[in-house]
Structure 1
Amino acid sequence: MVRSDLTAPLGMNKRRSIGRLPLGLIGVAIMTVIFTTGFIWIGIVDDPNGGEPMATIELSSALDGVAPSDIEIVDLPDGSQLGQIGSDQYDTSGFGPDGNYRPTRPTGTNAQDQASGPTSIVDLARRVDYEGLDGGFSSESLSTDPIDQLLEPNKFGSLPKISAEGIRPLDAYARRPNPAALTQARIAILINGIGLNSDMTLKAIEDLPADISLGLSPYGDDINSWMKSARLSGHEVLLQAPMEPFDYPDNDAGPQSLLTNLDRKQNEERLSWVLGQTSNYVGLVNFMGDRFTSNETRMSEFLSKVRDRGLMYVDDGSSPRSRASEVAGTQKVPFVQADLVLDQNLSAEAIGTQLLELETIARQRGIAVATATAFPVTLNALEMWSQRLEERGLSLVPISSAINSTR
């Protein structure tokens, strides 16, 4: 017979179970103890993280073993912190082997007298550039008056020449980079087509940073006025040399283009016309010219004239067949090879991609060079891109600062 509560002795059917204990109250009590202990610990101990592993090191302000290249400059100092460079004497030998112009401070008992004024034609050309507030670096105006000792009269105008003292137009008219920029990865940009469109020319001169160099078209209207405006705004100036493209005559660089089927004298005559259009430029850059620059004989004739007149040459990077680099090395011509053309594709996105590539090259090699044309989309992109360049550890330098430092 099954037993039930009615048949079981009184009280014998009760089972003890742990489930009947007040577990909720026990949990609340435990949590209260934990939180109370934590608050008391924070209140009476200075370091709530006490007990965690810690290490103490002694910091030193000494710079032993630290090279200047290990230090990245982000915020550039103002002119007064860069030293008294406005009255430096300059070595008249011009640019060094790396293409950078090297100032030499006066020394000796007469140093103060030597620094009181310019003593060479280079000083005359560069005085406005270097004499900033309190003798510090100035990024403002460059000289606009040509130097007589650097001019040779010609039927096409006054052509550049090396002075009797051995001073080149390149030495006299080059823009010196901010000394602080030399400790960072550097970017040199040359904008061509200046003078062909007045609105775009004015925008390039006024809105772009002074360290962006400008390439004047010899076919521009009132090119001499544009040269002066550009240098007054601090831009280093080059002159475009029109050259024969592969699809000539369907595509023509202009009536004074250098052609492969002309003899040396004929091309020299055309080059003289180009050189006589203005003054105060540091060198030449090709306009078109993929056929001409691929002809080693014609490039050798051309670059020998560039060298003999004390100028530099920039290959704009548009032609993979160009022989300019090899010939310039043989002829010992101050030379710059552009790494890329920023606006081969005229869209803001494509130009932005090229600018990122340019930054990458600069960080990898120390300096990168690009060319572009004064199109509206190009100028707008460059204006925006350059605004916070220094915060990214990069500096703009004039094109002459890249001489012989590119591939």
Structure 2
Amino acid sequence: MAKRRYDDLDDEDDEDVLSTSIPVAAPPPRRRLPLRPLLIGSLVLALGGGLGTGLYLLTSYQYDARSLIGLLDIGDTGPRLSMQLPGPGEVPRPAPSGGGLLTPPGAPARDETASADPSASVTNSAPPPTASVPAPAAAPTMAAPPAPLATPATPPAPSSPPGRSASRADPNAIPPQPSPRTADKPPSYDSLPEIKGDPKPLASAPLRDMLKKSQAGDLPVPGPDGRQPWQVYARPWADPANRGKVAVVVIDLGLDRVATDAAILRLPPEVTLAFSPYAANLDKWIRKARDHGHEVLMVVPTESEGPAAPDPGPFGLVAAATPEANLGRLETVMARGPGAAGLVMMGETFAAAPQISGVFAAVREHGLLFVGPGAAAPARTPALARITTLIDRDLYREAIDIRLNQAVVSARVQGRAVALVQPRPLSFERLAGWLGTLSANGVVLTPVSALVTPPPAPPAKP
């Protein structure tokens, strides 16, 4: 192996060192903001927006040249307010003629000759005296109109705005909005008058021989002697006078203890009480109501339409459910109300469904009465009473009073009326005052069982 020599290393040290240069990158040129396109775009947007707004005003509001001048308030004297505010120690001046910033376009101009004196303005604004109208000739004698309805004494209501006078003219029209409440004490259950005397309690219910066991519980059925539960559990009532009859049914009781106690203890025993199937201790509530003379119904929840429609819950009747499912829910409601004389239902949606016929047949089979809408064949129709009105559908004083008076008119004209009431302090307050006027209006308060139409007799067998 040849010996490796390193003599050439000295020659490499003598070689010239090559200088290496490192290139340095130049900074990129600064970009200039494209101002010209931005300015052009902004100008186009501004002109387009202004042009679009002007076209919108001209086409939508159909302004003419005079209206546009009035809108812009262009005049010889510059912008002016329709009502000049007086300075310290100055007398208020009348509004300028020809409109102003606060005058809508097209408004009639004020008279230029109007006096600046405030007293003169009042004098000029007074209406001209009306000419006296000669009395008409005596008309032939006619029958006197029926006596007006007596209304409960109420404190004077505050004056209403002029815009609402039209709705006040029609006694049957519902006011579009409530009047401002006076500064008196708000309604409460404690302010209701107490019942005079001790009401006579109803007989014990339910009867053992009028019950049938089922998966839902004990269901009412007709007795062995043919007696119907709605007749046995109803409040006895008889009035030989030929007067109109009105029944009041308070619904959805048992959910609020204070409201339920007020309905039982503060309302006359002729008022029918309807309990919610979702209430607790229903057997105790029903027993207490009957001990104070009230006949009892059970509320059947049903579906209803509208964005604010409440959920009927697990016991509610729904048109989309099967007939078997709805029948099971109906039996659950019946079983939860021992001693109830019948059922009350408000759902117009379910009443228009074909399944209402099966509901009617079940109610008739169990011997109960039914308060609500719907129709079925005569062989399936139970003891039935139609609802006239829900008096507190709009929860303010004027609307409640109007619907109460409508119930009286229906009782006087048609002979009977059924009014439903929700357990609310304002509803009970207006109801208590209205009940005191029934006798003066020729109407008598009855339990709802006195107004039902008995079920048609089944056809005779050949």
Where on the TM-score scale, by shorter chain, does this alignment land: which range? 0.5 to 0.7
Q: Kindly tell me: are residues 250 and 293 of structure 1, through their superposed partners in 2, closer, same or farther at Cα, counting changes over 3 Å?
A: same
Q: Is the 8 A contact 2:205 2:233 kept in 1?
A: no
Q: Is 2:351 the counterpart of 1:293? A: yes
Aligned to 1:196: 255
Report the TM-score when normalising by structure 2: 0.53
Among 334, 342, 350, which residue is 2:391 paired with? 342
Distance 1:330 1:340 in 2: 27
Aligned to 2:212: 152
Among 212, 221, 233, which residue is 2:292 paired with? 233
How far apart are residue 329 of structure 1 and its match?
A: 4.5
How far apart are residue 293 of structure 1 and its match?
A: 1.2
Q: Kindly tell me: are residues 401 and 268 of structure 1, through their superposed partners in 2, closer, same or farther at Cα, counting changes over 3 Å?
A: same
How far apart are residue 404 of structure 1 and its match?
A: 2.4
For 2:236, what is the secondary structure of its paired residue? coil
Among 323, 327, 330, which residue is 2:376 paired with? 327
Amino acid paired to 2:365: D
Q: Is the 8 A contact 1:215 1:237 kept in 2?
A: yes
Q: Is 2:424 the counterpart of 1:375? A: yes
Answer 1 or 2: which has greater strand percent: 1
Among 348, 365, 370, which residue is 1:308 paired with? 365
| Paired residues for 1:93-112 under 5 Å | none
Distance 1:144 1:218 in 2: 21
Q: Is the 8 A contact 1:208 1:382 kept in 2?
A: no
Q: Is the 8 A contact 1:303 1:328 kept in 2?
A: no
Q: Is 2:322 the counterpart of 1:273? A: no
Q: Is 2:201 the counterpart of 1:141? A: yes
Q: Is the 8 A contact 1:328 1:334 kept in 2?
A: no
Q: Is the 8 A contact 1:218 1:274 kept in 2?
A: yes
Report the TM-score when normalising by structure 1: 0.60
Q: Looking at CA atoms only, which structure, 1 or 2, has the larger radius of gyration?
A: 2
Q: Is 2:321 the counterpart of 1:262? A: yes
Aligned-residue sequence identity (percent) comes to: 28
How far apart are residue 347 of structure 1 and its match?
A: 1.0
Q: Is the 8 A contact 1:236 1:398 kept in 2?
A: yes
Aligned to 1:219: 278
Aligned to 1:84: none
For 1:146, what is the secondary structure of its paired residue? coil
Aligned to 1:403: 452
For 2:304, what is the secondary structure of its paired residue? coil
| Structure 2: gaps (5+ residues) | 1-197, 455-462
| Paired residues for 1:14-29 under 5 Å | none
Distance 2:228 2:415 in 1: 27
Distance 1:249 1:205 in 2: 30
Distance 1:268 1:372 in 2: 27
Distance 2:255 2:305 in 1: 23
Tell me which of the two structures has the higher relative contact order, counting C-alpha pairs closer than 8 angstroms and 6 or more residues apart.
Answer: 1
Q: Is the 8 A contact 1:145 1:280 kept in 2?
A: yes
Aligned to 1:161: 221
Higher mean alpha-carbon deviation, 336-345 vs 388-397, is at: 388-397
Q: Is the 8 A contact 1:209 1:386 kept in 2?
A: no
Aligned to 2:407: 358
Amino acid paired to 1:151: L
Q: Deviations over 1:239-279 (max 9, x none)?
A: 01111223599731111111112212111111121111121
Distance 1:304 1:335 in 2: 12
Higher mean alpha-carbon deviation, 226-235 vs 328-337, is at: 328-337
Amino acid paired to 1:390: S
Distance 1:156 1:146 in 2: 16
For 1:179, what is the secondary structure of its paired residue? coil
